[in-house]
Amino acid sequence: MLEKGSEVGAHILSGAVLDPSGLNALIPDWKERGAPINTAVKEDNFYMLGEAGQIRLPNMIMPPLMNNHGNYIVSMGNVCRWLAEQAEALGVEIFPGMACSELIYADDGALKGVVAGEFGKNADGTPGDGYEPGMELHGKYVFLSEGVRGSLAKEVIAKYNLSANCDVPKFGIGMKEIWEVKPENHNQGEVTHTMGWPLGLKNSGGSFIYHLENNQVYVGYIVDLNYKNPYLFPYMEFQRLKHHPKIAKMLEGGKRIAYGARAVTKGGLQSIPQSAFPGGVLLGCSAGLVNLPRIKGNHNAMHSGIAAAEAAHTALQNGQSGDMLVAYDTALRQGPVGKDLKKVRNVAPLNARFGPLGGLALGGFDMWFQTLLGFSLFGTLKHGKSDAQSTQEASKHQPIDYPKPDGKLSFDRLTNVSFAMTNHEESQPVHLKLADASIPISVNLAKFAEPAQRYCPAGVYEVVHETDKDPRFVINFQNCVHCKTCDIKDPSENITWVTPQGGDGPNYPNM
Ligand code: SF4
């Protein structure tokens, strides 16, 4: 197992309220084995926020599948660290700090392996002092499990045309802070989700606030990336959220101790590409397995890993290798993952068509209807445009005036990025590749006010205006937290995220 983070868990960012169904299937005695899963959900709230107040939606109107009782508030980074220990005890070899930079194909076109662990390139791509070439590693089957918008998954989806029969993938950008709050403001086991302010009723997204142990609270915001206004600034929407009276009261006197961001898949069932291909499979969010209204995907990632392992095990026992694990793709769609995603498949398209309020009402109706009668009156709705195509020209919109962060509840991006502990060797090639270096200024700035300046949650992209000079596009790649939003949302689809040197990127302690 190859891990691009400096250690297992370093690049994991998730809410997270864990539905333990996947873990129960994988390691039924996880409690006895000391899994870091200690906080059962004891209170589950859903609010519609206005700028100065909120309305609580009664739990009884929520479809049963959205009920969080029986689930646990966890640091998924820590759960992954613990899972790695369990795997190592079974003899699995794990190599952290090894980025897979290239895929290797066999003569018959099947995926054969990866190149990993290339270190020490100069900025221009030539070998620098202390250059170490990558190693070619071959596998009978290669499992790609890179999370949302993986660079290798993107390559195989294109190579094998895996999305020929599915809808476009859809995404959100999730940003998260960990806070230590005053004991009197802490309520271990409380889960809160909100919609409405500050995004309003034109853009969809919402917040999550989870009280875990040690007076810590996860505060996060997900902004759906299908927003039209290129002036929208997801990071500043998140900062504004914390000034809502209800949230500000809980955070007051506390301190933010970590920050991170990661794209989230929200295309659901209709956007899952063919997930088996010659020589390998796509797992978890490489296939896009998040259940949007439940705001959960970790259980499905585990179910997908189990299904892939079982399919590969059977194939190996039959003497096969390097072929297509069709049984995995079938199990994914017909097993627990497909069942989990089926009832919620129209929520994202309804949100996109009718906005957050109409989407909430119609999506809620559709989930109830399917729960009670087993089918949907809508059939399976399509998503429409990709997130990149959803961005409209700046001339159709007004710039948004965001309040300046106060340094207590809200923070500027660069200060917050220092709490992601991200690090990249500065002498290496930039890992954010522009297909055409002129597009950010000639097209994106001219037409879209270059939204990369705002959608990146780490402030990587800047347009620098100097007197008597043309504007310049600058990429501060050292700040990147590997969220992949630029690879998704650039209106010209001009940016490709590739792996930097292994071990680089964020160093999340317990995201
Ligand atoms: S450069 Fe791209 S991948 Fe990196 S943090 Fe910014 S948007 Fe995310």
134 pLDDT higher than 90: yes
Phi, psi of 461 (to 5 degrees): -100, 135
Q: Is 483 in the pocket of ligand 1 (CB under 6 A)?
A: yes
Specify if 301 maps to a domain.
yes
Domain that holds residue 298: 98-166+270-342
Cα of 94 from ligand 1 centre, angstroms = 26
* Segment 209-220, tens digit of pLDDT: 999 999 999 999
Question: Where residue 245 falls among pLDDT bands split at 50, 70, 90?
Answer: very high
Let me know whether 365 and 315 are in one domain: no
| Domain-ending residue, one of 379, 399, 427 | 379
* Segment 105-114, tens digit of pLDDT: 999 999 999 9
Cα of 263 from ligand 1 centre, angstroms = 9
Residues 6 or more apart from 82 whose CB is under 8 A from it?
A: 34, 35, 36
Closest C-alpha to 199, from 385, 393, 46, 355: 355
Let me know whether 352 and 338 are in one domain: no
Pocket test for ligand 1, best of 497, 499, 508 (most atoms within 8 A of CB): 497
Let me know whether 355 and 338 are in one domain: no
Percent of the residues in the chain that have a pLDDT greater than 90, as a whole number: 96
pLDDT at residue 214, rounded to an integer: 96
Q: What's the token pair of residue 341? A: 């995603």
Let me know whether 109 and 162 are in one domain: yes
CATH number for 298: 3.50.50.60
Pocket test for ligand 1, best of 423, 432, 474 (most atoms within 8 A of CB): 432
Specify if 156 maps to a domain.
yes
* Segment 406-461, tens digit of pLDDT: 999 999 999 999 999 999 999 999 999 999 999 999 999 999 999 999 999 999 99
Specify if 135 maps to a domain.
yes
Cα of 481 from ligand 1 centre, angstroms = 6
Of all protein residues, the one whose alpha carbon is nearest to atom 4 of ligand 1 is 480
Specify if 125 maps to a domain.
yes
Let me know whether 360 and 323 are in one domain: no
Specify if 373 maps to a domain.
yes
Tokens 């079938």 sit on residue:
330
Residues 6 or more apart from 23 whose CB is under 8 A from it?
A: 30, 35, 37, 299, 302
| Domain-ending residue, one of 360, 379, 398 | 379
Let me know whether 284 and 320 are in one domain: yes
Where residue 232 falls (left for φ over 0; alpha for ψ -120 to 50; beta otherwise) is beta
Let me know whether 335 and 371 are in one domain: no
Q: Is residue 501 within 8 Å of residue 424, measured between CB atoms? A: yes
Question: Where residue 360 falls among pLDDT bands split at 50, 70, 90?
Answer: confident
Let me know whether 282 and 295 are in one domain: yes
Average pLDDT over every residue of 319-324: 98
Percent of the residues in the chain that have a pLDDT greater than 70, as a whole number: 100
Average pLDDT over every residue of 240-249: 98
Give the DSSP per-residue string, 234-264: HHHHHHHHTTSHHHHHHHTT-EEEEEEEEEE
Q: Is 37 in the pocket of ligand 1 (CB under 6 A)?
A: no
382 pLDDT higher than 90: yes
Average pLDDT over every residue of 128-132: 93
Q: What's the token pair of residue 101? A: 């930079």
Residues 6 or more apart from 418 whose CB is under 8 A from it?
A: none
Q: How far is CA 252 from CA 145, 182, 196, 201, 458, in A?
A: 39, 8, 22, 27, 25
| Domain-ending residue, one of 324, 342, 360 | 342
Specify if 308 maps to a domain.
yes
Let me know whether 356 and 305 are in one domain: no
Question: Where residue 323 falls among pLDDT bands split at 50, 70, 90?
Answer: very high
pLDDT at residue 183, rounded to an integer: 98
Let me know whether 115 and 154 are in one domain: yes
Average pLDDT over every residue of 171-190: 98
> Model's pTM, two decimal places?
0.96
Let me know whether 297 and 357 are in one domain: no
pLDDT at residue 307, rounded to an integer: 98
Cα of 498 from ligand 1 centre, angstroms = 11
Residue 481 CA, closest ligand 1 atom number:
5
* Segment 37-77, tens digit of pLDDT: 999 999 999 999 999 999 999 998 989 899 999 999 999 99
* Segment 258-293, tens digit of pLDDT: 999 999 999 999 999 999 999 999 999 999 999 999
Q: Is residue 97 within 8 Å of residue 11, measured between CB atoms? A: no
Pocket test for ligand 1, best of 456, 488, 496, 508 (most atoms within 8 A of CB): 456
Specify if 55 maps to a domain.
no
Specify if 158 maps to a domain.
yes
357 pLDDT higher than 90: no
497 pLDDT higher than 90: yes
Structural domain count of the chain: 2
Assign 295 to helix, strand or coil: coil
Average pLDDT over every residue of 116-127: 95
Cα of 47 from ligand 1 centre, angstroms = 30
pLDDT at residue 356, rounded to an integer: 86
Q: Is 481 in the pocket of ligand 1 (CB under 6 A)?
A: yes
Q: In whole angstroms, what is the distance from residue 322 CA to residue 113 CA?
A: 10
Average pLDDT over every residue of 24-41: 98
201 pLDDT higher than 90: no
33 pLDDT higher than 90: yes
Mean pLDDT, the chain, whole residue set? 96
Q: Are strands 276-277 and 280-282 parallel, antiparallel or unpaired?
A: antiparallel
Cα of 496 from ligand 1 centre, angstroms = 10
Dihedral sign (CA 335, 341, 342, 343)? positive
Let me know whether 338 and 274 are in one domain: yes
pLDDT at residue 188, rounded to an integer: 98
